[in-house]
Chain A
Amino acid sequence: DAGITQSPRYKITETGRQVTLMCHQTWSHSYMFWYRQDLGHGLRLIYYSAAADITDKGEVPDGYVVSRSKTENFPLTLESATRSQTSVYFCASSGLGHREQFFGPGTRLTVL
């Protein structure tokens, strides 16, 4: 009953490889979000989802793909990883009618 979890916590991959980051929440929250956090840029929204099968782009969506077939899961896929996608990725969720977001522990991704 961890609330919101992310896997893997650390990942090293090579340029051009496909990588999927997983996010799972147990609160049945309607909204889920993916952010990346880089020094000098703060938290930037990649994609978000208002409900199962509803997703939309955020500030920096290029190079990323999301899906949400089940309310509790929101995977983020880098179809062909680039070095510029080296970052810490956070998943977050929030309930309908509640604006506050709760964050997962993060995934540190390194693209060599």
Chain B
Amino acid sequence: QKEVEQNSGPLSVPEGAIASLNCTYSDRGSQSFFWYRQYSGKSPELIMFIYSNGDKEDGRFTAQLNKASQYVSLLIRDSQPSDSATYLCAVNNNAGNMLTFGGGTRLMVKP
């Protein structure tokens, strides 16, 4: 069983809609949670991190964390075609600075 699970997608949403990306993790001791965006042929780029239960907003992005249910989600409001990418969820379980990555969800935003 993978430690960090994501639906591989593709998740297809129309332009202007809200895209909801989900991630579950198995280690209850996990403390830090990260969302990376990766465009095709490019390297992962950090877009959000969250440490505490609840919501954290940054522009059009909102990260949501529920430690009791062991899931973290990323909402993208007013989705744009430029948001089309693979989104990677990563979790730190206090093993130094190591992150465990999910397999990623491919998001397609259609004009």
Name A residues whose Cβ lies closer than 8 Å to a Cβ of B: 30-31, 33, 41-43, 45, 48, 50, 58, 90, 94, 96, 98-106
Contacts and interface: CB of A to CB of B under 8 A. Distances in A.
23 contacts: A30-B97, A31-B96, A42-B88, A42-B101, A42-B103, A43-B44, A43-B88, A90-B43, A96-B97, A98-B97, A99-B31, A99-B32, A99-B99, A100-B32, A100-B46, A101-B90, A101-B97, A101-B99, A102-B46, A103-B36, A103-B45, A105-B42, A106-B42
A99 B103 CA distance: 19
Contacts of B42: 105-106
Contacts of A33: 98
Contacts of A58: 98
B49 interface: yes
Given A43-B88, A104-B43, A99 B97 contact: yes
Interface of B: 31-32, 34, 36, 42-46, 49, 88, 90, 92, 96-99, 101-104
Contacts, number: 50
A31 B97 contact: yes
B70 to A, nearest CB: 18
Contacts of B49: 99-100
Contacts of B98: 33, 45, 48, 58
Contacts of A42: 88, 101-104
B46 A94 contact: no
Contacts of A103: 36, 43-45
B44 to A, nearest CB: 5
Contacts of A94: 97
A100 B36 CA distance: 10
A103 B45 CA distance: 7
Contacts of B96: 31, 48, 50
A46 to B, nearest CB: 12
A100 B102 CA distance: 15
A69 to B, nearest CB: 20
Contacts of A43: 44, 88, 101
